[in-house]
Amino acid sequence: MRVRIVGILAVVSLVLAFVFLSSTPAAPHKATTPAANALPATPAAATPAEPHPQIREALAALRRAKEHMEHAAHDFGGHRVEALKATDEAIRQLEECLKYDKD
């Protein structure tokens, strides 16, 4: 039963990671414009948007869940250790995704 729950948790974590990756729209292609028609850069244009906010939110949520499980008064029916391992693996996988981001 433990193995099944840990497996399900790992699969759900990976599915969420891929859903977040696939749901993020691609940046539109920039049209080439002559330099004479180019507008001066504005402060808003100088600061790019945070890359992959959904993945970063998922990482924060997994870290909060891990923190909760580590300091909980009970062992969640004997599943705490394996759930912590699965959570660590999900965190590691999402961090690897962000390392290989080429945006």
User: pLDDT (tens digit, 9 = 90+) per residue, 18-36?
Assistant: 655 555 555 555 555 555 5
pLDDT(93) > 90: yes
The single-letter code of the amino acid at 5 is: I
Residue 103 contacts residue 48 (beta carbons within 8 Å): no
Burial class (CB in 10 A: 0-12, 13-18, 19+), 56: middle
Residue 18 contacts residue 52 (beta carbons within 8 Å): no
The single-letter code of the amino acid at 16 is: L
Decide if 38 is inside a domain: no
Decide if 43 is inside a domain: no
Total domains in the chain come to 1
Q: Does the pTM exceed 0.95?
A: no
Give 37's pLDDT tier (boundaries 50, 70, 90).
low
% of the chain beyond a pLDDT of 70:
58
SS3 75: coil
Domain that holds residue 59: 1-23+52-103
Decide if 100 is inside a domain: yes
